[in-house]
Amino acid sequence: MQILLLGKYGQLGWELHRSLGTLGEVAAFDSPEIDLSHPEGIRQVVQQVKPDVIINATAYTAVDRAESESETAHTINAVAPGIMAEVAFAHDTALIHYSTDYVFDGAQNRPYLETDSPNPLSVYGQSKLDGERAIQQIGGAYLILRTSWVYSLRRDSFVTKVLSWSRQQKTLRVVADQVSNPTWARMLAEATAQLLAKAGTRPARWVSQYSGLYHLAGFGYASRLDWAKAILDADSRPAEQLTQEILPAQTADFPTPARRPLFSALDCQRFMDTFNLRLPDWQEALTLAMAEIQSTP
Ligand SMILES: NC(=O)c1ccc[n+]([C@@H]2O[C@H](COP(=O)([O-])OP(=O)(O)OC[C@H]3O[C@@H](n4cnc5c(N)ncnc54)[C@H](OP(=O)(O)O)[C@@H]3O)[C@@H](O)[C@H]2O)c1
């Protein structure tokens, strides 16, 4: 299988690059080799690689900056995925794309289903929703995997920030009113690879039977406050922590340019029922992720 991976240096893309190698040949790109703010370049890359599947792990993910750079966010998160879907359709190629819980307004009090109506509160959320719609409009063999609160340990993430704050501050104040599914990028990458392993040598044909939108995130959900506490509990170098207390805060205590949904947990049952795969419990995944960070000197 010939795989075209876009976004190989991102949190998810890095892990995908690691996980996909057993499935075939991976041609992987990221900025600056490819610049999706000029998305027409995608056509040339696809001509060159002739992939059986395109996996798009690129995104404009600077949620706050997107408020003042809406055009760039729209080009990368909406126009580029639309072009990917177009070339995938034209070349009988499958497309796997990722989206976000930020397409929802977070006003609900039960995890969101794929059938719930999106209502993004931010430019980022709107641009990702526009990307989903651009792909759906073209159709073909595609899977859109909506995920949430992705973290890795090799780029800045909530996990690395909490660890770093804990080395500097006696008291941490963390928002208790934002709730979603913490998702370790590695688990998301591995589930993607397992999914593709089911697709055999003609992924477009297999994927076309299931084309659509699926929620795929860490199993279970938590508030940012609970997540922060779990991070510090799993820290195997607690002696380095200065933090003595973690206090609950409200989103309104930390004004940001972009509004974020309060309750945006995703219900992943549809993905489980369709593919017989799920991501592990978010706490188990966090423990595994943290064990890895602790083993580095
Ligand atoms: N992070 C989260 O909490 C979260 C939550 C829900 C959904 N998601 C979705 O999950 C997917 C993966 O997210 P992630 O956290 O892995 O993102 P990430 O770490 O920010 O990685 C995104 C990658 O895209 C690249 N990129 C950005 N602009 C580009 C451009 N103009 N041309 C080419 N490449 C460009 C980035 O390169 P540079 O670093 O050089 O800019 C980076 O390597 C995305 O679809 C995202 O929307 C993420």
d(CA 24, CA 75): 30
3-state helix, strand, coil in the chain (%, to 5): 45, 20, 40
d(CA 235, CA 19): 26
Q: What is the pLDDT of residue 100?
A: 98
d(CA 86, CA 258): 31
Q: What is the pLDDT of residue 294?
A: 56
Ligand 1 atom with minimal separation from the 102 CA: 6
CB of 52 closer than 8 Å to CB of 91: no
Residue 297 Cα to ligand 1 midpoint, Å, equals 28
pLDDT tens over the chain, length 297 residues = 999 999 999 999 999 999 999 999 999 999 999 999 999 999 999 999 999 999 999 999 999 999 999 999 999 999 999 999 999 999 999 999 999 999 999 999 999 999 999 999 999 999 999 999 999 999 999 999 999 999 999 889 999 999 999 999 999 999 999 999 999 999 999 999 999 999 988 899 999 999 999 999 999 999 999 999 999 999 988 999 999 999 999 999 999 999 999 999 999 999 999 999 999 999 999 999 998 875 554
Active site positions, annotated: 124
pLDDT tens for 44-71 read: 999 999 999 999 999 999 999 999 999 9
What the block records as the tokens of 162 is: 């909490």
State the DSSP code for 155.
S
DSSP states along 143-211: EEEEE-SEE-SSS--HHHHHHHHHTT-SEEEEESS-EE--EEHHHHHHHHHHHHHHTTT-HHHHHHTT-
CB of 181 closer than 8 Å to CB of 149: yes
Give the residues surrounding ligand 1 with Cβ less than 6 Å away.
7, 9-13, 30-31, 34-37, 57-61, 76, 98, 100-101, 128, 147-150, 155, 185
- Is the Cα dihedral 71, 77, 80, 86 positive or negative? negative
Residue 239 Cα to ligand 1 midpoint, Å, equals 33
Q: What number of residues does the chain have? A: 297
